[in-house]
Every structure is written in structure tokens, then in C-alpha cells.
Structure 1
Amino acid sequence: MGLLFGLHGPHCLEILQSAVNGDFVPVRRPYMVSRESLVKLFESCRRGKCLSQLHSVTIRAGLTDDILVASKLAELYSKYTSFHNACKVFAEIPQRSGHVWSSILRCYLEEKRYKEILLIFTHMFPNQKPDACATRVALQACAETKAFGLGKTIHGFVKKKSNFSSNLFIGACLIKMYSKFGEMDDALCVFREYSNPDKVLWTAAIAGCKLNGAPAMAIELFARMVRTKEVGVVPDSITLSSVVSACTQTSDLRSGRSVHGYMIRTGMDYDGLSLSNSLLSLYGKTGSARSAAKLFEKMEAKDVISWGSMVACYAHHGNALEALDLFDDMVAKGIELNAVVLISALQACEATCDVERGRRIHKLAVREGLEFDILVATALIDMYMSCCVPDDAIQVFNRMSEIDAVCFSALLHGCVRNGRAYKSLVVFRDMLANDFRPDVFDAVKVLTACSEVGVLQQTSCVHGFTLKGSLSNDPHIIVSLIESYSKCGSLGDAIVVFEHKIDRDVVTWSSMVAAYGLHGKGLEALELFRQMIEHSSVTPNDVSFVSILSACSHAGLVRQGIDIYNLMVKDYKLQPNTKHYAIVVDLLGRAGELDKAMAFIAQMPGPVDANVWGALLNACRIYHNTEMGEFVAKKLLESDPCEVSHYILLSSMYAADKNWVDAAQVRNKVRHKELKVVSGQSVVEIRDRICTFVANDRSHQDFVQIHEMLTLLEEKMVYNDTHQFNYHA
């Protein structure tokens, strides 16, 4: 009965039954199995067991040497049993025609044995010229193995065979081959040789252009294809997927909508999941969340790519909460998660600073075995750093078995962003030790860390790295070096960096002005600002004026500072922001012009920022104007009630006025509100080693010796009424 299963037709059944029962005698029996009948039986075969019995019939019929029968038999063995059995049948064929060789090559193609295909194909030429089918298979193998030379040779053979040169299937294979080689000029040259290309040729050319970074050409070819009047040349789902992907590459939403409109008009708008996913990707990457959502709702079938595209669309275009809700829905429905979906969901958590949801997604990543996927792990580091839990990010990094430069960069940037300057320097060192090359942005971040630490030696080392890595001429590096050197106390090194930069932009000029101001050199800052205005093509911007106003404030240059402010407003027509207002108030406050500072605030447009009130409160503290200080403090705490430094400033004002009761009440408020006070710390560098000291810290290993030395120093210092320390040797 096993023989009968998979065979169709009463005549075939009778013939096969007589043959299997042993009643078959080629000449004497009425049901002699002819070559044509056996081929029909082969076509009806659907199972391996039937095939082995058919093979037996073939042997009894004496047709094993028949080329057509043998090749059909081999093809069926390859399809329903094993490639090895097919090869055994091929080996028994004494004389192999072009058809037999083509069958052999097709079997090898199904097994993806591309190198063997090319070896067999090259051995065919001495005895047998390949037919069109064998040529197509060989061209596909050339494309897969990047055998460019052999592919060109086969193309030459095709041109010599006049009947091949008009074969559209061979043309499509040539276009695909050249596309995979990255030779789109040759691919399009082949395409133009066909005066009436069919759908397959058009699709191959469009897909090739998309693959090789020519999406605009792909869109143009599609437009020409749609306009053609040839019968049967109608784009299918593969063509449409390629052109939609091309629109995505160029962010050409208008063309993408036109393609979608064509699909709707021709009834192909939901023709296959792959095509729908391509449209989702287009709308998602171009920020058309509404169109993507409508399409997503109408899709009857959805896979993880569909869900992932929609989550990414929301996450990357300002709809982080919707992205997380959709992700939760996806998890509830039991949709399989992949790395892409997890990364998009983590980015949504990063945008909303929702660390709890981020931790839940982290657990899902662990469950799916994707925690240590390098892209997922990097997204976890970014998420934890953005949610201000750097310890969790560091733990993820430390557990990773495979680390790349992007992981190091994520950890480095996150440490700087979260005030872990020392840790970021360690990460930078480890990055170099692991032979990863930091880029410009990594160097800028580590220079920022050096500025925060205030260690000159570290800045010099990073400067050396930028020189060695040919990064020192980058404008971002120049600005960061100037800032870092100046904050580490070496104004001279900052000046050297500035003077070596020939084509200075406005940011470079502004950074050097700020460096002078930081060191109290207001007159030098004013002179440099004058040079920028009069002797360069640079026009100062709002940042430039922040730098020069700060320099005037630090140096107590009140009149010059007011002149600069008027220059900004009247001559350069720049609208002041809260930073400018705060500096002017600070400038007047440092000079003791508290009434003028209050009048200046009164004429400011809009609500007054906390920084402005803070600058005036500090001036009230310095000049013991408690009455004004209390009014300013009230305004300050109304605008920013959770900033602990404001309470400390108010308490210091009361303490300076010896009003200990009110000072204590303010500090009690800080404790009652559970506001955290950032401990002060200092840094020294001893023998290339950074040592930090935190206020009230008793955990330092040299705590006793340090305090003994401090006590000794205090005995040699006298604090007088002018708030100046005199050192007695």
C-alpha cells in the first residue's frame, strides 16, 4: 500500500501494481511500462518510499540508462530523500547530456553547494556545452561565492550564444550577480540590453539599486516600470518591497505614500507580510506614527518584525509611553521577542527615565537569552545611565563576555553624565588597554571628566592621545582642551592650544574668553573679545556674551560688563536668556549694587529663573542685606523648592549675620524635606595617582594622619575680621 500512496490515475495504478507484483515482462505482458508512463509516474510521486519502489520498477524496465528517466529519478531523490542518493544515481548515468548536467547542478543549488557547482560547471565545457538552466545556476553560484572573474567569463559565454543573450531569466541572474558584486553600472548595462524586460528583470534591477546605495535610481526604475505598457509587466510584492525599502533609505515619504497608493489602487496593499512590514518600516523611520498605526491596525497577520517596527516608531519619535504600552501588549500576547524590539523598548524607558520598566525589560532579556547580546547590553547601559543608576549599568558591563568600542563609549559617556569622573578615566584607560580606538566624542567626554577632576596630568595625557591619534585638529577637541587646561589651572597650556588653532570658529574664541575669565583675567578676556570682533570674520553669539560677561563678573569689571550687555542687546540684537540675566545680576551684586540688581530683575520680561534669584541672594549674603535676602529667598524657593543649595545659601546668609536660630531652622527644613546635600570633595595628584577627599569622610585609610596634619596647619593659620587667612611660618 505504501507504493500506491502518492500515485494518481487508474492507468498508472494498474501498470505499477503489475510491475511491483512481478508480473511485468517487457514484451509478453500487456501492461508494459513505457518510458513516457514511467515519467508520468515520477511526476505523481510525493514520498520517498514510493520513490524507492519506482526506482525498482525502473531497473526492471531496463530504463536506468535512459537520460531523461535517470535525471528525473535523481531530482526526486534529492527532493524527497537525500542529496547523497541523488549523487549515486547521477554517478550511474553513463552518458550525461546537458539536461542531466542541469539536473545535477539544480540539486547542488538546493543544497547551497556553490563551490561544487562552479567546479562541475567548469568541467562541463570540454565535453558538453551548458544549457540555459546550467548557466543560470552557475551565475547564482558566482554571486554567492563572489567569484567575479568567473562570472564575467560566463557573461562572455552568454554573449556568444545568441539564443542565450535574449533569455530573460539569464539576464535577471546576471543583474543579480553584478548587484551582489557591487557593480551596478554593469548590472544596469545588462538591463538596458533587453528591449522588453519582464517583471523579473525590472525587479532585479530595482532590488540591485536599493542594495548598492542607489535608492533614488530604484525609485526612478519603479516609476518607469509602472508606466510601461508591456503585457504582464506588473510589480509584485517583491518589487514593491524593494522600492518601499528604497524610499525608506532616502526618507522619501512622499514617494513611499505614492507607492502605497498604487498598491491600494491595484488591490495589493496587504499582499504579503513582508510588504506590509516594509511599509511599516517606511512610516516608522520617517516619523509618520499615525500612518504606521493605521497600517498596523489593519494588518491581519503580524510577526515580531511588525511589532518591532511599531514599537521603534513610537520610541524614536516622541511617543515613548505608547511604545512601552505596545511592548507590554506584545509580551501579553506571547509574541516572541528579539533584540531589535528589546532595544527599542529600552530606548523608550531611557526617554521616560522609567527605570522600573527598564528593569522588567532587563529580566525579559535574561529570560530570552539576549542579555549579553552586544547591542542589547549597550542599550541596557544607556538606559541605566540615563535613569541615573550608573551602578546597574556598570554591573551589566562587567558581566559582558564580549565588549566592543560602542559598549566602552556608552559606559564612558554615562559615567561622565552621572558625575563619575574618576570611573570614566578608568574606563578610558581600559578602552585603550583593550586596543579599542576612542573617537572624537569619547575624547571630548574624557576631557570633560578631566575638567571635573581638575588633574592636569590626566588632561596632558589625553592631549597626547589626541595628537597621536590625529584628533587634535578637530574643533570639538580644541575647545575641550582649552576648557580642561583652564579648569585644571594651566591657563598657559590653554593659550598654547588656542594659538595653534588657525581657523578659529566662534566656539573656540568663546572658550578662550571663558578661560581668561575663569582665572580672573577680565582685562585679557576683554582684549581677546575685542580681537574677535575687530580682527576676525567671527560674529559673537549668545555663548560668546555669556563668556565675556562671566569674565567681567569674576574680575569685578562692572562698567565694562554693563557695556558688553548693552552691546549684545543693542548692536547685535541678541535676545538675552536667563544665563545673561543671572550674570548681570551677579556682576552688580559683587559690586554691592544690590538695589540696581533688584531694579534690573524688575524690568526682566517673563518669569525670573532661579539662577537669577540665586545670584542676588549670594550678593545679599556677602553684603549682609538680610532684609532683601529674605525677600529674594522667598522668590527663589518658590521657583525651585527642591534644590538644596538654595537652602544652604540662605542658612549661610543667616549665619554670616550671626542669626543662628534662623540658620538652624533652614537646615532643619533640609532634613525634614529629606533633601540630599552633595558632599564637598577635593583632589590631589601624587605620583600619577589621583587621591580624593570627601567632607566628613572617616573611611580613608590615612584618616588619622590626614587630620593630624590639618590640625597642625590650623594652628599656623589666623582668621581675622577681614575674612583673610594669614599664614605664619
Structure 2
Amino acid sequence: MSLVSSSLVSFRRPLYLWNLMIRDSTNNGFFIQTLNIYFSMAHSGVHGNNLTYPLLLKACANLASIQHGTVLHGHVLKLGFQADAFVQTALVDMYSKSSHVESARLVFDEMPHRTVVSWNTMVSAYSRVSSMDQALSLLKEMGVLGFKPTASTFVSILSGYSNLDTFKFRLQGVSIHSCLIKLGIVHREVSLANSLMAMYAQFCRMDEARKVFDLMDEKSIISWTTMIGGYVKIGHAAEAFGLFKQMLRQSVGIDFVVFLNLISGCIQVGELLLASSVHSLVLKCGCDEADSVENLLITMYSKCGNLTFARRIFDLIIEKSMLSWTSMIAGYVHSGHPVEALDLFRRMVKTDTRPNGATLATVLSACADLGSLSMGQEIEEYVFLHGWESEQQVQTSLIHMYSKCGSIKKAREVFEKVTDKDLTVWTSMINSYAIHGMGNEAITLFHKMTTEEGIIPDAIVYTSVLLACSHSGLVEDGLKYFKSMQKDFKIAPTVEHCTCLIDLLGRVGQLDLALDAIQGMPLAVQAQAWGSLLSACRIHGNVELGELATFKLLETSPGRSGSYVLMSNLYTSLGKWKEAHMMRNLIDGKGLVKECGWSQVEVCGSHDTLAAGN
């Protein structure tokens, strides 16, 4: 009786009860259950109404289930809900969130009656796929037809700029802001102001974002997080931490995203005391066990020079993810401990966790730092065995590894096998030629990259080109490229560029020209450049200029023992023993420690480090 009666009762269940079940299931996030209830309802012979289908389409949208969505669209057409704006708007939203924007537009265009919500949904559909021209065109059409856009309309549009950053889109964003100011709603609507700040943060225009933030009537946790994250993104960690202090004074609750931003800020600054303070807050708020936080903490302590703390966090992670292993391996590599990095990698491959491209690229960097060709070839075998040979990040690291291990031929072989070379791959090969003193080959490859392939160079590849010119004594070429990067590509010279230029001029004895070049550089750059000039003075025996370079170095970096040593060596090379002895005494008198030279040799797969004087 019970089974038969239960079945009969379900068949007699009225529509409002089915709708209640569908509503409760959808509102609680049980979207698959929602669809199962509907198909049970349809099987019992009960048809849905204009309250049923928006809920069902919402479930399909959240599941991104285009299959079920099109079936429901057929039912909607069959039951005659084409004129129902509520149902049709839900269809537009379903197609949009299922990545079928064209289908969403077809439904929208066929709607006999549209509401502001309908327009907002279609604008949101275009914004979601960053089709900003279509979204703005729809916004204008909306206004022409007498529909007044709401805060939700602009939130959708502003969110569309989250992955865009070109001059055109920046202008569009500023225009949207102007429109919002005219409407007078930007500072009253928290979500709208947050979206506007997020757009400016994406464009790295934090001054504009700060103006919006300061004028907000009410700030949410997202407001603070957006600003802190924006400052960290552009490298202004001090402003980020200053804002965080204000946030604490306002008694705003701290969320998980705030800690991710603060830890990223600590990674930029590299101050251990600050890092420890942030870690204490993370522990206090109980966010330390989140995988992404743990991995960032490992990176943070590594960047702050405390590998002991980094390893302690790593060891405390019970279920280590691939990112956890990679973070710790990268910490060792970037801190100059390649042997420990390789040991940890060997441990990793014995577990169930498999490395990804980033892990293998990091391990190959460790092999490059060691100069271990045998270990590099072993890692390459692993790469081929597990199908990573087509990963560009791995290919780039293989080129670098073979180059640093002395096999420029193998580096070129890897380079030639890369099918779709990006700027990073070209830069890696050009740099390989540079460090091997193959200046003409580097310049030829650079010319091929820019003229034949049409790839626009950046500051990094120009560093490699100038390095190649320096190591090969190509003075005219070096000067030409130093000027061309500024004139043709608007690349401002960095410390690396200037050092390469001085090194180039110094190697060929153009010391007066090198001096003129240094004096024309910004003060922040000069400190490194004086060191290159002093080295050149030692090579060419120019005491007078060497003394000037030493004076300038001691003025800018008084704690560097290397400057005293270089000048002492210059005096020694010219037989000025008294002056050399005086410079050596200055090192002892100032309590400076000269870092001894060292060499590393590989014997039967193991690596030994030999320090000078031992």
C-alpha cells in the first residue's frame, strides 16, 4: 500500500508544491536536485508556470549546463512563455553563463517586452566575455529607448575590464566614471564604487582608485581589499600596509583575501620582522591552513632570507600539494641553495604528487646554478618521459640550463624545436649567446626576432643584447641598441642596461666615454655603474679614474668591502704596495668582511664547494 499510495500521491501533487520544492532546492544550491525534481514533475504530467522556469534556468546557469538549458528552452516555447519577460530574461542569463552569448542575444532580440533587468542581463553577458564594445553599444541603445541604467548595469560593465588593459579600454573606463559622476550614484552604491576601484587597480591607476575610495560614504571589506591588493600589484607595499592599519582602526573584519595581499606585500619588501608580524595575524585569525596561504608563507620566508621558517611551514603541511613542493623548491633555488632544491625534488617524485611545468622549470634553474650538465640531462629525460617537452616554460628553462652548463649547441637544438616561440624563448636563446661571448649570433637572432617575426622587444631582452655586445666588444652596436631601445620602443634604461653599457665601454678602454655616460645617468643608477668603471680601471691600469670611482662608490655604498678590494688590486697591479696595504687596512679598520671566492665542482654526481684559501 505504501509504495503505490506514495506514487499516487506524488502524481496528484499540485504545481505550487512542486514550485516550493524547486525553489527551496535552488536557493540552497542543490541545482542537480532541482532539475531532478522538475523531470519528476514533468513525468507526473504537471506543467510548470512562469515561476517554475526562471528557477530551473537559474540552476542550469549555475551548472553551466547548456544541454538541460536547451531542453528547458524547448519546454518554454512549447508552453507559450515567449512574451514573459521574467522567463525570457532567465533564458538570456542561462545562455550567457553557459558561454553561449550569441544564443543569449537571439533570445534578447526576440523579446517583445524588455525590462531594465533584461537589458542588464544582456549587458552583463557581453561584459562577462569582455566584449566591451558590444556592451557599451547596448548601454547607449538602452538610454535611447528610455531605459534608465542602474548601478547593476554599470557594475556589470566595469567588471568586464577586469582582464583588459589597453589605452582604448582605459579611455572607455574613464568615460564610464564620468557618466557615473553625472548620474551622482557612484559614492552612494558600495558595489559600484568597488567595481570602479577594481577597474582602476587593473589599469594600475591607484591614485584614481584612491579618490573613489576616500569619497565613499560607506566601505565594505571588498573596498579595503581592492585597494590593498591594488597597491601591492603596483609594488607600493608601504601604502598597502598603511591602509591595512587604517582598516584595523575601523574595526573592519579581516578576510582570507586580505592576508593573501599582505603576504604578497611582504614578499616584495623582504623584511623578516614585517613578515613575522603578518604571519602572527594569519595564525591568530586561523587562516594558516589554507593551501594558498601556506604556499605564500613559504615563498614569503624564502624571500626574507629565512629558509628555516619556510621549511618548517612546509614540513608541517600534512597533505602537500604540487604548489607546496614547488614553493619550497623555488625558495631554495632563489636563495642560492640548488643542492637542497634538487634533493627536495627527488623526494617529491617518490610521492604521489607529480610536478608541473613550473616545478620542472624551477628544478632546471637549480641545475643551471650548479652547472650540472648530468643532472640537467636527467631532468630532461624526466621531462620527455612525462610529456612536458612541449611546455614553453620548460623549453625556456632547458635552453637556459644547457647554456649555463656550457652546451650552447644543445641549447640551440632545444630552441629550434620550439614551434611557437614567444618573447621569453627568444630572450633565453639570445642571453645564451651573450653569456658565451657570441655577440654576432645574439644580434642576428635579435634582428630575426624583431624584423622577421615582428615580436616587440622588452627591457629584459635588451639587457641580453647589451650583455652580448659587452662580452664581444661590439661598441658601436652596443651604443646603437642602447639608444634604439629608448627612441624606438620607449624603454627607459634600467640599472642592468647602464651597467652593461659601462662594462662595454670599459672593456675596450673607452674610460672617458664611460665616465661621461655615468655622469649622465640618474643618481639611483650610478652606484652600480661606478663599480663597473672601477673594474675597467683595474684592467687598464687607470689609477686616477679608479680613485674617483672608488670615492664615488664609498660615498654611495660605504659598507661594501668589494670597492676597497678592487682599488687595492689596482694599486697592486701597478706596484703601489703602500697604497694597496692602506686600502686593505681600511677593510679591517671599518670592520668589513671580504667574502671569499669559491668554486663548485661536480664529481661522480656529487657537488663540492671549494673556498679560496681553504
> Which category describes the TM-score, using the shorter chain as reference length?
0.7 to 0.9
Write the deviation string for residues 205-240 of structure 1: whole angstroms up to 9, x where unpaired. Answer: 2333344554554343333223222xxx43333333
Q: Secondary structure at the match of 1:684?
A: strand
- Give the structure 1 partner of residue 39 of structure 2: 122
Matched, 1:152 2:70: yes
Match of 1:437 among 348, 351, 355: 355
Q: How is 1:373-392 mapped onto 2 (pairs within 5 angstroms)? A: 373-392=290-309
Separation in 1, partners of 2:75, 2:507: 84
- Give the structure 2 partner of residue 606 of structure 1: 519
Matched, 1:246 2:156: no
Matched, 1:586 2:507: yes
Write the deviation string for residues 556-598 of structure 1: whole angstroms up to 9, x where unpaired. Answer: xxxxx4xx3245547997699442332442344xxxxxxxx55
Q: Secondary structure at the match of 1:131?
A: coil
C-alpha change, 1:242 and 1:686, in structure 2 (3 Å) is: same
C-alpha change, 1:671 and 1:458, in structure 2 (3 Å) is: farther
1:152 maps to amino acid:
T
Matched, 1:234 2:148: yes
Q: Secondary structure at the match of 2:51?
A: helix
C-alpha change, 1:566 and 1:147, in structure 2 (3 Å) is: closer
C-alpha change, 1:202 and 1:102, in structure 2 (3 Å) is: same
- Give the structure 2 partner of residue 175 of structure 1: 92
Q: Secondary structure at the match of 1:132?
A: coil
| Residue 679 of structure 1: how far off its partner (Å) | 3.6
Matched, 1:619 2:539: yes
TM-score by length of 2: 0.78
Any conservation in 2 of the 1:347–1:379 contact (CA below 8 Å)? yes
- Give the structure 1 partner of residue 103 of structure 2: 186
C-alpha change, 1:410 and 1:131, in structure 2 (3 Å) is: same
C-alpha change, 1:175 and 1:430, in structure 2 (3 Å) is: farther
Larger RCO (CA under 8 A, 6+ residues apart): 2
2:153 maps to amino acid:
T
C-alpha change, 1:696 and 1:438, in structure 2 (3 Å) is: farther
Separation in 2, partners of 1:218, 1:180: 16
| Residue 678 of structure 1: how far off its partner (Å) | 2.8
C-alpha change, 1:117 and 1:376, in structure 2 (3 Å) is: closer
Separation in 1, partners of 2:213, 2:569: 60
| Residue 325 of structure 1: how far off its partner (Å) | 0.7
Separation in 2, partners of 1:638, 1:650: 15
Q: How is 1:266-415 mapped onto 2 (pairs within 5 angstroms)? A: 266-415=183-332
Write the deviation string for residues 582-632 of structure 1: whole angstroms up to 9, x where unpaired. Answer: 2442344xxxxxxxx555555656267223333234326xx7x87876566
- Give the structure 1 partner of residue 559 of structure 2: 642
- Give the structure 2 partner of residue 65 of structure 1: none
Separation in 1, partners of 2:133, 2:163: 9
Which ranges in structure 1 are unaligned for 5 or more consecutive residues?
1-90, 518-524, 552-560, 589-596, 698-729
| Residue 167 of structure 1: how far off its partner (Å) | 1.1
| Residue 255 of structure 1: how far off its partner (Å) | 3.5
Separation in 2, partners of 1:153, 1:628: 83
C-alpha change, 1:363 and 1:189, in structure 2 (3 Å) is: same
Any conservation in 1 of the 2:599–2:609 contact (CA below 8 Å)? yes
With 289-298 and 531-540 compared, the bigger mean Cα shift is at: 531-540
- Give the structure 2 partner of residue 27 of structure 1: none
C-alpha change, 1:300 and 1:694, in structure 2 (3 Å) is: same
Q: Secondary structure at the match of 1:194?
A: coil
Separation in 2, partners of 1:675, 1:474: 46
Separation in 1, partners of 2:191, 2:448: 61
Write the deviation string for residues 168-205 of structure 1: whole angstroms up to 9, x where unpaired. Answer: 11112222333333332322222122133112222222
C-alpha change, 1:463 and 1:263, in structure 2 (3 Å) is: same
Separation in 1, partners of 2:19, 2:447: 80
2:535 maps to amino acid:
A
| Residue 490 of structure 1: how far off its partner (Å) | 4.6
Q: CA RMSD in A?
A: 4.2
Any conservation in 2 of the 1:506–1:541 contact (CA below 8 Å)? no
Any conservation in 1 of the 2:439–2:469 contact (CA below 8 Å)? yes
| Residue 407 of structure 1: how far off its partner (Å) | 4.2
- Give the structure 2 partner of residue 23 of structure 1: none
Matched, 1:546 2:467: yes
Q: Secondary structure at the match of 2:287?
A: coil
Match of 2:372 among 438, 452, 455: 455
With 366-375 and 604-613 compared, the bigger mean Cα shift is at: 604-613
2:468 maps to amino acid:
S
| Residue 502 of structure 1: how far off its partner (Å) | 9.8
1:565 maps to amino acid:
V
TM-score by length of 1: 0.67
Match of 1:680 among 580, 590, 597: 597
| Residue 635 of structure 1: how far off its partner (Å) | 5.0
Separation in 2, partners of 1:501, 1:108: 51
Which ranges in structure 2 are unaligned for 5 or more consecutive residues?
1-7, 453-460, 486-496, 521-525
Separation in 1, partners of 2:84, 2:54: 10
| Residue 166 of structure 1: how far off its partner (Å) | 0.9
C-alpha change, 1:696 and 1:340, in structure 2 (3 Å) is: farther
Separation in 2, partners of 1:536, 1:212: 32
C-alpha change, 1:642 and 1:283, in structure 2 (3 Å) is: same
Any conservation in 1 of the 2:506–2:537 contact (CA below 8 Å)? no
Any conservation in 1 of the 2:19–2:51 contact (CA below 8 Å)? yes
Separation in 2, partners of 1:573, 1:274: 47
C-alpha change, 1:567 and 1:667, in structure 2 (3 Å) is: closer
Separation in 2, partners of 1:145, 1:566: 62
| Residue 458 of structure 1: how far off its partner (Å) | 1.8
C-alpha change, 1:339 and 1:688, in structure 2 (3 Å) is: same
- Give the structure 1 partner of residue 118 of structure 2: 201
Separation in 1, partners of 2:446, 2:198: 49
Any conservation in 1 of the 2:531–2:563 contact (CA below 8 Å)? no
Match of 2:137 among 200, 217, 220: 220
| Residue 112 of structure 1: how far off its partner (Å) | 4.8
